[in-house]
Every structure is written in C-alpha cells, then in structure tokens.
A and B are shown apart, each in its own frame.
Chain A
Amino acid sequence: MSTMKFTKDHEWLKVEGDIAVIGITDYAQNALGDLVYVELPKMGRQVKKGEHFAVVESVKTAAEVYTPVTGEVVGVNDNLSGDPELLKKGLDEGWIAKIKMTSSDEMAGLMDQAAYDAFVKTLG
C-alpha cells in the first residue's frame, strides 16, 4: 500500500513502508521550463528535512529540490543525469531519489493530492 504526498515546494513523495520516493510535480516542471541538468544526491547521504538534496537546472533557472523527510539516500535515479527530461515522466521514470526515512512523523505536515491541487489553484 503506497500513498502520495505533496509539499508546498512542489515535490511529490510516494511512500511505501519506510521508503519515500521523491520527485517534482508537473506544476514545478511547467514553471521551470525546458530542463537541462539534474544534480543528484550521493547514495548513502544522510539528509535532514528541509535540506536541499538535488538541483534541477532549466534554461531559465536552477532550482533546489528540498527533502521533506529525514533519512538516508538509498536510491538515485542515475538515468536523469543523461536525460533530464525524464523528470517529466513522473512516478516510474521521473523520480529523483529514494530516502529511507528515520521517522514517519514528518508525513503529518504534507498534503494529499486533493489538498495539493487546491493549493496549486491558489497560486494562479
């Protein structure tokens, strides 16, 4: 059983047990425009909630990706370094990293799909 969660910084998380798979939402990708580079975290890195752990670079800008959860990087989508546009493919191919969470408490502040959709509407 997995659940989808979202942040105000436009990251999505798919949570299965204590593993969170993280990517960025369609809204973020549209705002960034054409993607040219993704800087990925190193395997085994310890990340803290709110820390930036990846960088997505587009023609217009470079944006930091923040981890909404604390834990260890246990998976990295290496395909993104050769083909950053894969990010747009969402869950299966467009994830950035997998994090083994130290606690599930941090999930409380995150939005579900409906709440995120409503949040995006307020941004206009």
Chain B
Amino acid sequence: MIAELKMDQAMSEQQNDFGDGNVGLHYEESLLWEKEAGDHPGVDLPTPKGLKSRTGVAARGEIGLPQVSEPTVVRHFVRLSTWNYSIDSGFFPLGSCTMKHNPRLNEKVARFAGFGNIHPMQPESTIQGALRVMHELQGILGELTGLPGVCLSPAAGAHGELAGLMTIRRAHELKGNAHKTVILTPDSSHGTNPATAAMCGYTLRVIPTKETGRMTVEAFKEALGDGHDVAGMMVTNPNTCGLFESEILPIVDLLHKAGGYFYCDGANFNALVGTIRPADFGVDVMHINLHKTFSTPHGGGGPGSGPICVTEELAPYMPVPTVVKTKDGFHLETEDDRPTTLGRLKGFNGQFGMHVRALTYIMSHGADGLKQVSEDAVLNANYILSQLKGDYSVPFEGPCMHECLLTEKSLKENGVTTLDVAKTLVENGIHPMTVYFPLVVQGAMLIEPTETESKETLDRFIKVMKWIAAEAKAGRGSVLHENPKSTPRRRLDEVKAAREPKLRWKKSN
C-alpha cells in the first residue's frame, strides 16, 4: 500500500527500495502495534513471585499492548508530530477559522507557577489570583461585545453555541414559552448552528440567502411567519460569505417583537473587535472563540475555549460557574447562588490556561491594538480579493470583511475545479483555504488571511493563485489534476475513505 502511494518519480529514481517507504529523511510510520514484532519493552519489571489469585479468576495472558523500547516510542510520536501542519509552519488561510499567530508571550504567562501548577479543587482562598484573571477576562469580553453576562466555562466553539442556545431555552422555559420550538438560521450558517439547534430539541426553519449572499428582511419575514413558534435565530455576522449582514437591524427588530432571541455565532468576531459591539446590532447571546479571535492555540495546538456573552436579561439563565466579586474576594458562583441557571455544563471552570492566554493577548494589545488587529484582518482579505477578482469568479460584489469568497466558476469550462486549485496550492507549499464551504456557493474557496500575515506572504499566495488560474485558462488543466506531486501522499481516494473507513486496527495472524 505504502509503496503504491509513493511518488512515482521517487520510485523510479530510488535505487535502493527497502520496502519501508522511507525516502530522503522523510520516514513512513507504522502503528506502534506493528513495530518490532519481537518483545522489546522499554521497562523491565521483575516477575512477581508467589502471586495468588484471590478472586479465583486466572490472570490474563497477553494483553496486546505494544512491546516497544523508549526510543522507538519517542521517534514514533516525534515523527508523527512533524507531519502536522500548523500556523507555526506556514500560511494557513482557512476561511471562518481565524488561524492567527499565537504570541509566545501568552505561553510564558500561562506557565507561571501560580497559573500552571494549581488545581481546580483547591480552596478558593488559595487561587484568588487565578479567579481574578477570569473575572477580568469576563469584564473585558463583556465590554467588547456589549453583553455584560459572561460565562467562561464552555470548552470550545460548538460547546459555547450549545451553552448559548440552552440559555435561550432556559429563559423561554422559565417564562412559560414552551410553545417556542423553532430556530431560524440562514442557509449560509456554520454547520454547527443547525446541529446545535437540533441538539437542543429545536426544529429548524431556514432563511434563504442565495441570490444576495446576505439575509434580506423579506426572506426573514417569510421564515418568521407570525413568529409565535420562534424561539430564536442563529446567525454568524459577518457571515460565512465574508459579508456583514447589512439588514440585521430591521431583522432583529422583527425577531425581538416576536419574542425571539438573537444568538450570534462569534466565529467571525475577528472582523469586528473594537469597531462595533454585537449588542449594538441586537445580539442577545454570542459565543466567542478565544482560540480564534484572541489567539489561543487551536488546530491541534491546544484545546478550544468558547465563552458566552449574554444580555443582562439573559444573565440569570446562563450556566454556572461564573466568577463574581464579593466583599471576601473572588468567588465561583454555584447553582445555590443563582437558582435560575440552566446548570453546569463542564466539570470544572473551563479551559483556564486559555483564559490566561486570551487575557494576555488582550492586555498586551490594548484597546487600540485590538481595533487595529480587526482592521488589518479586513484589509488583508480585501487586498487578496482585489488582486484575484480578475482571475477567479466572485459570487458577491465586495468589499468583504475579514475573509473573501471566490469560486471555480470561471475555471470550470477548462475542467479545473476548486479541488485542483487546493491541491496545486499544496504542491506549491501553501496550505489551501477552506474549500466547498459555504455550501450555498458552488465550488467555494473561502480565504481568511488574518492580520498575522505580511504583504510578502500575501503576495506569494496571490502569485501562485494567479498562476493556477492562468494555467487553467491556457488549457493546461490536466497538469493541475496531477497535483500534488512532491508530497509523501498524493491525492487520496476520498470516496473510498468515506465508503470503507478503517476505524480500528486488528492483529493479523
């Protein structure tokens, strides 16, 4: 299998093929179970003497754990780690993902002994500094969003969505609105939005956006109906087409009049920080991805963190714990302190290490710095859009927000698809953008450069993208179909992987 997949060129030039797939200093890597079929455990334990079974059950023989030495284990994991692509390796323009640089200052602060070596079950009196960090972060997130109720405990973006929607459900329950069972969401929404609504037991009504890329009051009215059954609306703003929902004010007005709450997916908050407060366009609940907007690591680099921010009206219903300041110091609020809460969604208090990193990022940038971050992110996306709009199709007229959307439409007559573009980027040392999302646009390419990247990096990306489009239009699409050529694996059989997934390893006899 490995030999078959190896690059053809290397195969023909390879003088000595020892059947293990190692080429240059690129190593193939088998499972630990498949290594060194002999018995080479890294630890020698004495054979226990005089051991009797007290239960009468005979001890198991072989338990099937890999028997490998310490250097083998170390090399295994180090080699695997080198296969990972991260923002620390290069440009990572995934749309709606905000893959920004994680400043090393954040890491330094998170490792301070007072933050790194504490335990969530310590008495509150011994962790006042940590609680103060959480309290300050709550305050700042509340200020940036204009939503004063903040709960830091959700452990990731989708968890934050769930917490947010459960807060809305709890409010409706306690207010006697059990008949409100419908959530409205536009067809460009993140896949997690409808999934969250379904998880909360809501049914979904979709607001179509196709022609405009944005919601219109008209389409919203149709989805709302008389609004009697509508519990709320889930919208990402700016949306996944990189556009600000320009009719959001009259839409939210109608929603609020019908007794529904506005949940805003905060995944794209990086476009707005310091410029507009979501509460000012009517948001009642929003989650924030600390791991996107506030530079805590993600994509294999660390756990996510998805705090929610809510209006004063909804604050009594959000999950516990939140940190409150009392005359005796900082205190983690419990269900006894706030009986209207929907309860607890996380074992302890959230991803505390991420709270420290986010607060470090916020404080090291300051209010003006955060605003500039957003402005630069939007500028970078518009720079890419302005340079590539002649080479690729643009489904919705610009300017865009922090991400720009292109499509394959103008390449299709030459038989070149978005997948070919993505794979050719890989061949040229660039991680592809988000492809085939949002679903409302055929062959979508969603590019979010973030403020991290220099003009030189953006220019190289633009150059490669222009070259790909030119190759396609010159009728050399068949060459693009072959990419990537230089990677350890070429195009994988995605259909076979989806139809016949290998989900577990079995010992072959």
- Nearest CB of chain B from residue A12's CB, rounded to whole Å: 20
With A60-B436, A61-B436, A124-B409 in contact, do A31 and B495 touch (Cβ < 8 Å)? no
Q: Taking the complex as formed, is A80 at the interface, i.e. its CB lies under 8 A from any CB of chain B?
A: no
A34 adjacent to B494 (CB under 8 Å): yes
The A-B contact count (CB < 8 A) is: 17
Task: Indicate if A37 sits at the interface (CB-CB under 8 A).
Answer: yes
Answer whether residue A108 sits at the interface, using C-beta atoms and an 8 A cutoff.
no
Q: How close is B404's CB to chain A, nearest CB, in angstroms?
A: 21
CB contacts (< 8 Å) of B439 on chain A: these are 61
Contact B498 A59 (CB under 8 A): yes
Q: Does A36 contact B (CB under 8 A)?
A: yes
A36-B499, A124-B409 given; A59·B442 CB < 8 A: no
A124 to B408, CA, bound (A): 12
Query: How far does the alpha carbon of A61 sit from the alpha carbon of B494 in the complex, in Å?
Result: 12
Contact-size category for B: under 10
Given the complex of chains A and B, what is the CA–CA distance between A24 and B199 in angstroms?
28
A81 → chain B closest CB, angstroms: 12
Q: For B495, what are the chain A residues with a Cβ–Cβ distance below 8 Å? A: 34, 36, 59
Bound-state CA distance A59–B499 (Å) is 9
Q: Which residues of A contact B498 (CB under 8 A)?
A: 36-37, 57, 59
Proximity string of chain A (44-78) to chain B, C-beta cutoff 8 Å, 1 when within and 0 when not: 00000000000001011100000000000000000
Q: For residues 32 through 46 of chain A, which have their beta carbon under 8 Å from a beta carbon of chain B?
A: 34, 36-37
Number of chain A residues close to chain B: CB under 8 A = 10
A59 to B409, CA, bound (A): 20
C-beta contact mask, A4-42 vs B, less than 8 Å → 1, else 0?
Answer: 000000000000000000000000000100101100000
Residues in A with CB closer than 8 Å to B499 are: 36-37, 84
Q: Closest approach, in angstroms, between the C-beta of B116 and any C-beta of chain A? A: 41
> In whole angstroms, how far apart are the Cα atoms of A42 and B498 in the complex?
24
Candidates A31, A34, A36, A57; contact of B442 at CB < 8 Å = A31
| B-facing residues in A88-124 (Cβ within 8 Å) | 124
Q: Which residue of A lies closest to B437 (CB)?
A: A61
- Measured CB to CB, the nearest residue on chain B to A123 is B442
Q: Which residues of B contact A31 (CB under 8 A)?
A: 442
Nearest chain A CB to B147 CB, angstrom units: 33
Q: Considering the complex, which residues of chain B in the window 419-472 have a beta carbon less than 8 Å from any beta carbon of chain A?
A: 436, 439, 442
A37: B residues at CB distance < 8 A: 498-499
Residues of B within 8 A of A61 (CB): 436, 439
List of B residues within 8 angstroms of A59 by Cβ: 494-495, 498
| Bound Cα distance from A60 to B435, whole angstroms | 9
Chain B residues with CB under 8 Å of A57's CB are 498
Given the complex of chains A and B, what is the CA–CA distance between A60 and B436 in angstroms? 7
0/1 string, B463-506, CB within 8 A of A gives 1: 00000000000000000000000000000001100110000000
For B494, list chain A residues within 8 Å (CB).
Answer: 34, 59
User: Inside 8 A of A36's CB, which chain B residues have their CB?
Assistant: 495, 498-499
| Min CB–CB distance A121 → chain B (angstroms) | 15
Contact partners of B436 in chain A: CB under 8 A: 60-61
Residues of A within 8 A of B409 (CB): 124
Which residue from chain A places its CB closest to the CB of B194 in the assembled complex? Answer: A64
Candidate in A36, A37, A84 with the most chain B CB atoms within 10 angstroms: A36
* Complex Cα–Cα for A82 and B455 (A): 51
**Across the two chains, which residue of chain B brings its CB closest to A124?**
B409
Give the shortest distance, in Å, between A88 (CB) and chain B (any CB): 13
B202 CB to closest chain A CB, in angstroms?
A: 15
A57 to B495 Cα, complex, angstroms: 11
In the bound complex, residues from chain B placing their C-beta under 8 Å from that of A60 are 436
Q: How far is the CA of A37 from the CA of B501 in the complex (A)?
A: 12
A80 to B494, CA, bound (A): 19
CB distance from A94 to the nearest CB of B (A): 17
Residues of chain B within 8 A (CB-CB) of A124 are 409
Q: How far in angstroms is the closest Cβ of chain B from A18?
A: 28
A124 to B439, CA, bound (A): 16
Once the chains are docked, how many angstroms separate the CA of A117 from the CA of B499?
32
Separation in Å of the A118 CB from the closest CB of chain B? 17
Counting chain B CB atoms within 10 Å of each CB, the highest count among A37, A60, A124 belongs to: A60
Return the chain B residue nearest A63 by Cβ.
B439
Q: Within the assembled complex, what's the spacing in Å between the Cα atoms of A124 and B443?
A: 13
Chain A positions within 8 Å of B442 at CB level: 31
Instruction: Give the Cβ gap from B338 to chain A, nearest Cβ, in Å.
Output: 39
Annotate B81-123 by CB proximity to A: 1 below 8 A, 0 otherwise. Answer: 0000000000000000000000000000000000000000000
**How many angstroms from the CA of A119 to the CA of B499 in the assembled complex?**
33
- List of B residues within 8 angstroms of A34 by Cβ: 494-495
Which of A34, A37, A84 is packed against the most chain B CB atoms within 10 Å?
A34
Chain B interface (Cβ < 8 Å from any Cβ of A): 409, 436, 439, 442, 494-495, 498-499
Known: A36-B498, A37-B498, A124-B409. 14 other contacts (CB 8 A): A31-B442, A34-B494, A34-B495, A36-B495, A36-B499, A37-B499, A57-B498, A59-B494, A59-B495, A59-B498, A60-B436, A61-B436, A61-B439, A84-B499
Shortest beta-carbon contacts, A-B, top 8: A36-B498, A34-B495, A59-B494, A60-B436, A36-B499, A61-B439, A59-B495, A59-B498
Would you list 9 pairs from A and B whose C-beta atoms are within 8 A, ordered by A residue?
A: A31-B442, A34-B495, A36-B495, A36-B499, A59-B494, A59-B495, A60-B436, A61-B439, A84-B499
